[in-house]
Structure 1
Amino acid sequence: MNQHRHINSQPTVSDTLNQVNGQLTDHYQTQLSNDSRTFPLNALYSRSPSITNKRMFQVRRTFLLIVTFDVIFMGLLWIIYNQIKNITIDEAFINDVIKYSIKTSLFDVVGLSLLRFILLMIAYAILKWSHWIFVAFATLGSTGFIIAKTCVFTISKSDKGFTDYGILIVSFILAWIEIWFFDYRVIPHERRLREALNHNDRRPLLGSNSSRSTSPIPPTSNYHSINISDERGQSFYSPVPSIEGSDAEETNIQPVRNIRSDSTISQSMLGTPTSVIEDYNDDEYGKQADEIIERIWGIYQDNNCWIPESKSSDGLDVIAAKNFPKWGKIFRLTSTVTGSREDLVEILFERQEDMSKWNPTVNDCRILEVINTDLYVSYQLINEQAQGIIAKRDFVNLSIRRYIDGIAILAGQACNYPPMPAKDNCVRGENGPTAYIVEKIDDTTCKFTWLLNVDLKGWLPQYLINSSLASAQLTLIESLRNYLSKTVDITSSFSSSTGDLTT
């Protein structure tokens, strides 16, 4: 730590920072002098609620594509059906449409898909309603008609009814896919997106002196917050350059926690006072954190009836599992790691945003909201598992750091955070009681335990989930060892080179 500070205090770096500050100040003053730019930006924000209300979310567009696919696919099946029977389109039109009979014609199934298309397009594309009643009516009507038609339909003797009833079955399945997708995908997804947009879109365009903010960077005099949120819940912030000559930090602003200067965690977030989430106050998060730690500690001390699941090739890393009535299966990895307790805590908690650099199973890791020194809301995106069978999963957790009898507990559990809604390109999973537990053996060795309880969501075989989670645990502990060894080597070489320069 002292070495980093010594390097950052060199005159060359200070002169460079002063020069950059001067250039940013000149640019910022030029922008302030141009009053004509302020009005369009504020006007854009004033119109943002109406834009939000008129937008069509991607999940709804996907539903409308399914409806369109329904009518096109059924029409194509009807044409292929007649081609199989060596009937031209003109003859099929005369027989099935002009001389229509429910006992012999299959064109009514195509017409049924067309009616569904018209009804659902009017209700959900033009009028943009969000109630399930229209798709329920379309599916119920289609189901009743298909069942009635099946009872009176005359089976063709040439193909023994395989093609005939195949078309009826496909129409029945498509109708139920539409209601399933709308009820289980469109409605909950749009509700979460609207909550996030309503939560963010009505924020003031420029940062005020309000003490409450849902952003990781609280609105202070050092930031102009342009907090227009898009469908992915992203926010953008424009830093105001510091006054020329103000190299020293203000003494009234204390960092939330100390980290190494080369960490990728946002310094603006960690160097500001505690921010507050609109939906929950700090006391409620603190209470939830206490409950999570108590739960984790009880599981950690429970040594009965753990069933071995897997282990590493050298036998040093052992994974066992146990079913708990409330949480289901919890996996426990126990191992010994070469490294100090402080280094492990710093890597796994303070520098959590660096995890994607050394853990191949993690694609992205971010701190969304700092509550206090040992408590924050974090986001993690996991890569595909089991050779792509398990799609990407992302998680939003309440992350806690506590020490009990000298044992470091780095716990996490799923929490509700409206500014980070579920995304369309991955599945939102939920963590149950999960924690890294680091117990000091000596100055250079620690006992490492990882309790993992996760609901991956989706329809996945349990054996595949078990194999994937066990593999992820073994991958993390191996990657952690490699990262620690590289860190020690770099630190040693840096220390030796610094000693040579000093002498």
Structure 2
Amino acid sequence: MQRAVLKLCCGISYPHVRSMAGLQRAALAAFGQEISVHLQRRPAWSPPRWTRHQQDEKTQPAEQRTTALADEDVFYLRRGQEALHEALEIVESKDGWKPEMAEKNGDVIYSKVLLGNRKVFRLEAELDASPEELHDILFVRVEEMHEWNPNIRRIRVLKHVGGNTMVTHEVSAETAGNLIGQRDFLSVRHWSKSESCVYLGGAATQFESLPPQPGFVRAEDGPTCIVLQPLQDHPDRTHFIWLLNMDVKGWLPQSLVNKALPRAQADFTKHLRLHLTAQKPENRR
């Protein structure tokens, strides 16, 4: 039954897929493969149980607990896929983008105002690393990010869903010059790959055992994404596109937030470049 529904959905969506831009179409093809594999391995989806979870664990038979866990996994998988797809739609849109700032090294940041008056930022840069290397740093070894980015206090993976989705808790650092102040984030992160690109996406989510923490303002990401595309003549270098879409919460003036976010993107890219340089074999001796 699930396969029949999937085929019907694919047939209905075909005219829309033909009109999609390149990044969206490639990412959607990768999503389709993930969903097909998941339908073969998992039971039908139902909303995750955000309440009475611990009590249910004590009283339900083991088979029912396994099914509930599978349902929760599918929730996070779909949340990550949807976030990545929505973020790519924003990145691929042609209208409304305006130059926000340009760095001497060639990095450029554009901004756009979405419905609801939220301003998002798109950074474009070239990095001296392959998409696979950057995927390893930014996703696989995400818990090590605080070691090279002083603006992050810690990132902890709370849950893995297969090899391409995870739930993380991130706490920003208390650093001088941080206009926004310390925040924490609870996010689902998802990655996908086409023949030429690696896509990293994410969005705010819920996790029952980690409600908002005292002393922190819980900000919300997403949908957001990073696109890693090898340069045509230099496959060991990457065209890096980063959509930053964040609601920092709190009582900060929006003008201050709109000034701080693109600066945070530029700082992140600077620290990432320093880390890539330090990782080169000739610099480890």
TM-score, normalised relative to structure 1: 0.43
Structure 1 position 413 matched with structure 2 position 206 = no
- The CA deviation string for residues 196-255 of structure 1, in whole angstroms up to 9 with x for no partner, is 8x6448866xxxx94788xxxxxxxxxxxxxxxxxxxxxxxxxxxxxxxxxxxxxxxxxx
The amino acid of 1:455's aligned partner reads D
Judge conservation of contact 1:321–1:329 (CA < 8 Å) in 2.
Answer: yes
Query: Paired residue for 2:237, among 421, 445, 451?
Result: 445
Residue 278 (structure 1) shift: 4.9
CA distance in 2 between partners of 1:346 and 1:276 (Å): 31
Distance 2:91 2:119 in 1: 14
Q: Is the 8 A contact 2:278 2:284 kept in 1?
A: no
Give a deviation string over 1:236-276, Cα, whole Å, max 9, x none.
Answer: xxxxxxxxxxxxxxxxxxxxxxxxxxxxxxxxxxxxxxx98
Secondary structure of the corresponding residue to residue 458 of structure 1: coil
Query: 1:298 corresponds to which residue?
Result: 89
Q: What residue in structure 1 maps to residue 225 of structure 2?
A: 435
Q: Does 1:325 align with 2:115?
A: yes
What amino acid does structure 2 have at the position aligned with 1:444? D
Asked if the contact 1:384/1:390 (under 8 Å) is kept, the reply is no
C-alpha contact 1:391 1:426 (8 A) present in aligned 2: no
Q: Cα distance, 1:376 vs. partner?
A: 1.0
The structural deviation recorded for 1:284 is: 2.8
**Match of residue 167 from structure 1:** none
Report what 1:285 is aligned to: 76
Q: CA deviation at 1:457?
A: 0.5
1:465 and 2:266 aligned: no
Once residues 288 and 478 of structure 1 are traced to their aligned partners in structure 2, the CA distance between those partners, rounded to angstroms, is 30
Larger strand proportion of the pair: 2
Cα distance, 1:422–1:490 mapped onto 2, change above 3 Å:
farther
**Residue 225 of structure 1: aligned partner:** none
Q: Distance in 2 between matches of 1:212 and 1:483?
A: 46
What's 1:404 paired with? 194
Within a 5 Å distance, the mapping from 1:237-248 to structure 2 comes to none
In structure 1, what is the equivalent of residue 270 of structure 2?
A: 478
Does the Cα contact within 8 Å between 2:99 and 2:110 map onto a contact in 1?
yes
Q: Which residue is equivalent to 1:363?
A: 153
- Contact kept, 8 Å, 2:131 with 2:229, in 1: the verdict is yes
Tell me the number of residue pairs that the alignment of Structure 1 and Structure 2 aligns: 232
Instruction: Measure how far apart 1:448 and its partner are.
Output: 0.5
Matches within 5 A, 1:207-356: 210=62, 278=69, 280-312=71-103, 314-325=104-115, 328-356=118-146
Q: Compared with structure 1, are the counterparts of its residues 201 and 472 closer, same or farther at alpha carbon in structure 2 (3 Å cutoff)?
A: farther
2:280 match: secondary structure: helix
1:467 Cα offset (Å): 1.8
Partner of 1:239: none
Task: Compute the displacement of 1:404 (Å).
Answer: 3.5
**C-alpha separation in 2, matches of 1:276 and 1:317:** 47
CA RMSD of aligned residues (A): 2.7
Look up the equivalent residue of 1:469 and give its one-letter code.
L
Shifted more, 357-366 versus 326-335: the winner is 326-335
Distance between the aligned counterparts of 1:203 and 1:470, measured in 2?
44
Structure 1: runs of 5 or more not aligned: 1-194, 214-274, 494-503
8 Å Cα contact 1:327/1:432 also seen in 2: no
SS in 2 for 1:345: helix
- Matches of 2:220 and 2:256 in 1, distance apart? 17
CA distance in 2, matches of 1:405, 1:346: 17
Q: 2:166 aligns with which of 372, 376, 387?
A: 376
What is the Cα deviation at residue 288 of structure 1? 2.4
Q: Distance in 1 between matches of 2:253 and 2:185?
A: 20
How far apart are the structure 2 equivalents of 1:280 and 1:324?
Answer: 32
Q: Which amino acid aligns with 1:427?
A: V
- Judged with a 3 Å threshold, the aligned counterparts in structure 2 of structure 1 residues 301 and 380 are, in CA distance, closer, same or farther, namely same
TM-score, length basis structure 2: 0.73
Instruction: Note the C-alpha offset of 1:365.
Output: 0.4
Amino acid at match of 2:254: Q
Return the alpha-carbon distance in structure 2 between the equivalents of residues 385 and 456 of structure 1.
16
Tell me the residue number matched to 2:20. Answer: none
Give the secondary structure class of the aligned counterpart of 1:333.
Answer: strand
Kindly provide the amino acid, as one letter, of the partner of residue 297 in structure 1: L
1:383 CA displacement:
2.1
Identical columns (%) = 29
- Partner deviation per Cα, 1:57-103 (whole Å, 9 max, x = no partner): xxxxxxxxxxxxxxxxxxxxxxxxxxxxxxxxxxxxxxxxxxxxxxx
| Higher-Rg member (1/2) | 1
More helix per residue: 1
Alpha-carbon distance in structure 1 between the residues aligned to 2:105 and 2:135: 24
Q: Indicate conservation of the 8 Å contact 1:399/1:413, yes or no.
A: yes
The corresponding residue for 1:159 is: none
Question: Structure 1, residues 27-68: CA drift from partner, whole Å, max 9, x if none?
Answer: xxxxxxxxxxxxxxxxxxxxxxxxxxxxxxxxxxxxxxxxxx
For structure 2, which runs of at least 5 residues remain unmatched after alignment?
1-49
Matched with 2:43 is none
Distance (Å, rounded) in 2 between the aligned partners of 1:318 and 1:345: 21
